[in-house]
Amino acid sequence: MRKATHFCLSPAALLLALAVLSAAGAMTCRAAAWEARVIDADTGRPLPFASVRTQGGLRSVTNAEGWFSIGCDSLESVSVSFVGYSPLTVPAMAVSGSLRLHPMAVSLSEVVVYPASKVVRAVIKEARRQLKKRRRHKATFFYRQTAFVGSECSEVLEAFFSGRAAVALGDLSLQYGRYAALGSDSVNTFSYFANFFTYSQLEIVGGRAPLFWQDVMPLVDNFSEFYKVTMSTISGDGRTIHILRFKPRKGVDRPILDCTLYVDARTYRVLRCKGRGRNMRVLNDVGGQREIVPVDEMTFEETFDVSGGFSEVESVSISVSLMSNGRRNRVRSLMFNVGGGKTRSRSRLSFYDNLQNKIDSQGYDDSFWHDNEIVKRTPLEESAVRLFEKRNLFGSF
């Protein structure tokens, strides 16, 4: 018989631990909450998943629409950064409206000096070194998942995980969570995405070649068999960044990442990875029946914090669109690193684990989640959460 997962932290203990870890400002006593939208200074487009930090050490990330909210004293400063842009630091009292980040300048000369294949192999070597040296490094992550059928939100899931954080997210174990969903009836049948959290465990580095059960990833020894790689370079504020474009070759019919890597030109540490998945699929639960469903579109964005001397996963965002039961479903998730810690769980989540059922077995403490956003919700997410709370759907799956 398979053992049940046991969790070592109560909601109250987790709340205390996260406050000590300097998570989002919503979890600590603060003088004020400062809110703004981060945008590209040239185009005016929002910059989702930009890093936000206060002078006192609190941190957050912008949401899918570029907004953030963070708490700190009015005399502190707030710093905003995004890979490929010059960072910005302003007084907390100036955090309002739009904060504009300027793109770094393109450098054409670097392309000739550093061939793409040589840089890719240097990045692979550095990533493997980090994986070996930092294999025991863990962090606590906040996770939010929402599913929409048309314009209607059908499910909301928020949780905390612990897991490996160097280069790629892995060995996730659930600490605490909450889940709510609309019930299916004779008129409407909704899909429940049981293991969508596994998409956040994007692997970008592997061995000699991807194993038969793995998605094709860019940083493997035989990358040239699967990808055509081109490179450009940008620089500014004392940093040079190589941008590696991994375009899948024609004829690859297995799941593969079609992506762009941003790499520090001096250390070869990965700073950011964005792109889309091709030939992807998802485990779908329709009316209690599980099925593997092909994905029409899957996009992702992963950012890394290198201030500790290695590429630590800071955030992973996933967006998937697929047809299920004759209806268009859109599922989005965000995994955000709220800090290190010694939280433990006796078992890790596997690919086939139903996260909703595991959360449901814990029970629900509404006081733990009240006004505790961690990452600012979008208006659609906020309205869905408030509606589900009003209907008392959390904890009743």
| Confidence (pLDDT) at 46 | 97
Q: Which of 261, 244, 254, 250 shows the shortest CA–CA distance to 215? A: 254
**pLDDT tens track for 34-69:** 999 999 999 999 999 999 999 998 899 999 999 999
| Confidence (pLDDT) at 4 | 31
User: Three-state SS string across 183-225, please?
Assistant: CCCCCCCCEECCCHHHHHCCCCECCCCCCCCCCECCECCCHHH
| Confidence (pLDDT) at 285 | 63
> Tokens 């020894």, residue?
221
Tokens of 165: 């954080």
Measured CA distances, 109 to 235, 242, 263 (Å): 11, 12, 17
pTM of the predicted protein model: 0.88
Indicate the SS3 state at residue 11: helix
| Confidence (pLDDT) at 31 | 57
| Confidence (pLDDT) at 344 | 54
Q: Could you say which residues of the chain have pLDDT below 70?
A: 1-31, 107-114, 185-187, 283-288, 341-346, 371, 396-397
| Confidence (pLDDT) at 282 | 73
Indicate the SS3 state at residue 230: strand
Measured CA distances, 78 to 60, 75, 322 (Å): 11, 10, 39
Say how far apart CA 380 and CA 267 lie, in whole Å. Answer: 40
| Confidence (pLDDT) at 351 | 82
| Confidence (pLDDT) at 341 | 56
Q: Which residues contact 105 (CB under 8 A, 6 or more apart)?
A: 234, 235, 236
Q: Which residues contact 10 (CB under 8 A, 6 or more apart)?
A: none
| Confidence (pLDDT) at 28 | 41
| Confidence (pLDDT) at 16 | 45
Helices first, then strands: H and E counts in the chain = 7, 21
**pLDDT tens track for 195-239:** 889 999 999 998 887 777 778 999 999 999 999 999 999 998 889
| Confidence (pLDDT) at 17 | 46
| Confidence (pLDDT) at 29 | 42
| Confidence (pLDDT) at 112 | 45
